[in-house]
Chain A
Amino acid sequence: MDTFLLALLVMVAGALVTGLIALRPVSASTNRTANLIGPGAAAVACLLGLHGLFSGGWGSAESFLLPWGLPFGAFALGLDPLSRLFLLPVFVLGITCGLSGCVSLRHSDPSEHNLGAHWLFYLLLLLGMTCVMTARDAVFFMLAWEIMSLSPFFLIDFNDRDRLVQDASWVYLVAAHLGAVLLIAFFALLWQESGSTFFSAMAAHHPANATALFLLSLFGFGAKAGLVPLHVWLPEAHPAAPSHVSALLSGAMLNAGLYGIIRSFDFFGPATSMPVWWGWLLMAMGAITALMGILKALAQSHLKRLLAYSSVENMGIMIMGAGIGLVGIHNGSAWTAALGFSGCLFHMLNHSAFKGLLFLCAGEVLHAVGTVDMARLGGLQKRMPFLGALFALGAASIACLPPFNGFAGEFVLSMSMISSLKLPGLEQQIAMVACMTALMLTSGISAAVYAKAYGMTFLGQPRTHFAAEPHVPENRHLLPLCIPAAACVLGGLFAPLAFSMVQPTLDFIPAMHEGVVEEARLAIGQTEGLLRHISLFGWAGIGLVLVLALVRRVLLARRGVKRGPVWGCGYQYGTSRIQYTPASFVEPGARIFGAVMGTRVRSVKGEGLFPARASLGVEAPDVVRGKGYTPLFQLMERACNALKIVQNGLVNIYILYILITLVALLIWGVA
């Protein structure tokens, strides 16, 4: 715990120093200093934090309490396995994104960017996330939650001269606060009922209106996690933010929503008293989120927006896992419950690794080419082989392909669903089968999505001259990206070991207390054994690939390899523009799933004997945003504008309002 507190102190100190630098007039030298101190402090704090996570024993629980001078709340920290597990990606990505950001921001223009402010908010975000995952007091939790929610606004708004970036940060801010309102109501209700702001006291109390509390927590935390229909801020905020920020937001901050949902199971009374429809609601929302997210991702041609939608999908899969866990507990099936929760948490770890990696890679592409619009990219694998290999690794991992880590997580989740075929009741079984089909369809489509993402960006011929002559990053600048890349590979090849990190959390998942823990541990142990088979196949597969490659090399040793033009159906004068584009790649899919994902295929066919112009585009506007939120907010704007009549700037009228109010209150008081 001591090193952990020290880590918090380093973050605060780093934030203070970078804040002081930010207050000084911006120049190249202040930017340079800030760009050294900010990532340095982040790295030191995260390393200390990691040491703190592992030093006390991974499975143990510690706590720290410091009363503060405020009338309520306290500085109450706790480190239990659940907190440790969620802090792991925070710290690892904290280092990775800090270093990567340090590299990518080193040449930023002092007249446009104040790096002191940037790193101040970066450190505050880290601090906020760390405190959210360890807070054991509601007031402190909300304080940390606000720090965590507000600082990304300033991070996203980095390129604040860009109109689109401004819009995106506003969307983010509104979404973050709508979620926070629900959470304040959630904790206020709990406080009112239990009479204390401490989590332990809240957990000891059995609330009367548990369902209302559950819905508040689901939508409040779900807004952070990107649950449909509260996901609209993700596809706006992630493309606008600098990539190291997107990576941290997607890989670590979204998890805070999931953490909140799982932590709040504590407060709803005994696990068996939770109605089973909560679990089904979680599963249904998770399945819808996952399917919608991946179908939207399929249609995107903007790489970072694609990744953002894919984050929505992955959060959906995790929420689905949590739902399976709840359903399992309710039915007394330890196997289903344990695998559901552990699959959810395992997938969380895996997602942090590959999504962090992919966003950082996208950032390098943006830096090298100046755009991440896939219709303008292509051929980057040849020009930036190391970056391409990293992206390919991330793509294979996130598409849940063996032998990488994504598959291991998917396997655990699938096993939890299969074990639930033994649940009593036909409707439960059929619902579970429907969710399983949704999961399989999602992972099938995600393979297509990432084949597109990698293929269009890195393979083929460059579609524009920007892509043909990228500003190639030096390999040593890509070293931070190797951290999540290594996690992707090792998490798959040593899947049992990675999975065993999740195990201690299960005793601490509040809903797991009711006597099923022993059996759950057995289920986890057996699954670990299954993962050992999978990692064995991973090694064998890699070995086989190497052997075949060697065979090919030996066979070709004397005959050699020639290069020739690619087959173009006899037509030799094609340019790179005859290649398949992102739009044409997904056109068949857009036609099949168009009704569901609201995509429109816009095709202009060439006509006449000598067709001149023809085009194909796939548009995927966010239906929830366009049909749901935009009209709603426009309505609100009109209502607010109507209220402007009362605000006319005349002081005497305002005094009249006060008088009227007083009189009204007097009358009310007398009556």
Chain B
Amino acid sequence: MDLRLYLAHFVLALVLAPLPLGIIAKVKALFAGRHGKPLLQPYYDIIKLLRKGEVIGEGTTWVFLAGPVIAMASAVAALALLPLGGVSSPFAFQGDFILCAYLLGMGRFATVLAALDTGSPFEGMGASREALFGAIAEPVLFLVFLALIGTASSLGEGALSLSALFNGFPVTAWMHGRPELVLLIFVMGVLLLLENCRIPVDDPTTHLELTMIHEVMVLDHSGPNMAFILYGSAVKLWIFSTLLIGLVIPPLPFPAQAAASLAGTACIACLVGVVESVMARLRMHVVPALVGLAGSVAAFVLILTLVR
């Protein structure tokens, strides 16, 4: 029964994944006083791209073609490790968060290599930035996981899987006198913006290649591969939203929890849209400082949980 329920949630997540992108665009448009693109525009884009042919760069190899495929496959695989709509993943195991983080790392590695394969200076620039920011974001993500594990172990639970850690547990712990976990919401928020290339880290809609990170890496992709990239990044956004709402939503009975997590994802998309509308992009060399800030907050929380 649980397995079937989880599969239903998994399919729902896969179907709804592009929607937050549409919500973000809509919120930004409303802020700017425009009507904006339709909410379902990401779907139209993906379908349109799937129906097109491809133009690939001269001198590229299979690495260029494999990048989007691997990135999307690893994002979907990582999604299958998360608790969805309050249902634990049937694939959950102790330490699955390590696999989840490294699967996303595999996707990033493949994207970076695909960008370098074109030999374009712009894509090299994006690859360099993405590789570096990815490297420094990884320990921060692990500090968040460790803080939750530390809390769990001090509350006498041996939970080491995403399904146990992000399934209402943080709020329960928070209610039992662990208010420091609230700070993790900020850290996860920064990570969400960083890993999904959102303002203030990266501006996916700018017209200037010099200031981009992720978008500049995929300049030369087209057709189905571009659709895979779009969809893969949508799934990645869904993954980070799920982690973030896992910190906020308390354990609820079944339909309420599912509804709450969907609503939470929509809220996060709105918030991202608001952040994108009211903030400017940070300068590139300030981004490591932001990651460092998030890392120190996470380390602070971790030490607090250990001290108790």
Contacts and interface: CB of A to CB of B under 8 A. Distances in A.
Contact of A455 (B113, B149, B228): B113
A576 B119 CA distance: 7
Contact of B74 (A418, A541, A578): A541
A539 to B, nearest CB: 11
| Interface size range of chain B in the complex | 35 or more
Interface string B109-121: 1001100111111
Contact of A537 (B51, B69, B91): B91
A602 B228 CA distance: 39
B45 interface: no
Contact of A588 (B120, B129, B150, B220): B129
Contacts of B14: none
Contacts of A106: none
Interface in A343-393: 378-379, 381-382, 385, 388, 392
A579 B119 contact: yes
User: 4 nearest interchain CB pairs?
Assistant: A580-B124, A455-B116, A460-B119, A559-B53
A441 interface: yes
Contacts of A459: 61, 63, 113, 116-117, 119
Contacts of B7: none
A565 interface: yes
A334 to B, nearest CB: 15
Given A418-B95, A426-B306, A451-B127, A381 B61 contact: yes
Interface stretch (A200-208, A225-233, A399-407): A399-407
A589 B228 CA distance: 29
B225 interface: yes
Nearest to A396: B109
B247 interface: no
Given A396-B106, A437-B139, A445-B135, A548 B119 contact: no
Contacts of B53: 556, 559-562
Contact of B56 (A399, A541, A564): A564
B77 A544 contact: yes
Given A392-B113, A551-B224, A588-B128, A566 B120 contact: yes
Contacts of A569: 122, 209
Contact of B103 (A402, A440, A530, A556): A402
Contacts of A578: 121
Interface string A407-424: 100110011001001100
Interface string B277-308: 00000001100100000000001001100110
B160 A418 contact: yes
Contacts of A381: 61, 63, 117
Interface in A562-604: 562-569, 574, 576, 578-580, 584-589, 591-592
B59 interface: yes
B105 A401 contact: yes
Contacts of A576: 119
A300 to B, nearest CB: 15
B73 A418 contact: no
A534 B53 CA distance: 36
A440 B99 contact: no
A448 interface: yes
Given A552-B228, A584-B124, A591-B285, A440 B138 contact: yes
Given A401-B109, A564-B56, A567-B219, 9 more contacts: A381-B63, A382-B61, A455-B113, A533-B93, A544-B73, A552-B65, A552-B69, A564-B55, A566-B60
A567 B121 contact: no
Contacts of A533: 91, 93, 96, 99
27 contacts: A381-B61, A402-B102, A407-B102, A414-B95, A418-B95, A421-B306, A433-B302, A437-B139, A450-B109, A451-B109, A459-B116, A460-B119, A461-B59, A461-B119, A545-B73, A549-B66, A552-B228, A555-B50, A556-B53, A561-B55, A566-B57, A566-B60, A566-B120, A566-B123, A580-B127, A580-B128, A585-B131
B98 to A, nearest CB: 5
A360 B231 CA distance: 38
B128 A587 contact: yes
A418 B61 contact: no
Given A552-B69, A567-B220, A579-B121, A447 B109 contact: yes
A567 B122 contact: yes
B72 to A, nearest CB: 6
Contacts of A56: none
B119 A378 contact: yes
B108 interface: yes
B223 interface: yes
Given A392-B63, A563-B56, A541 B73 contact: yes
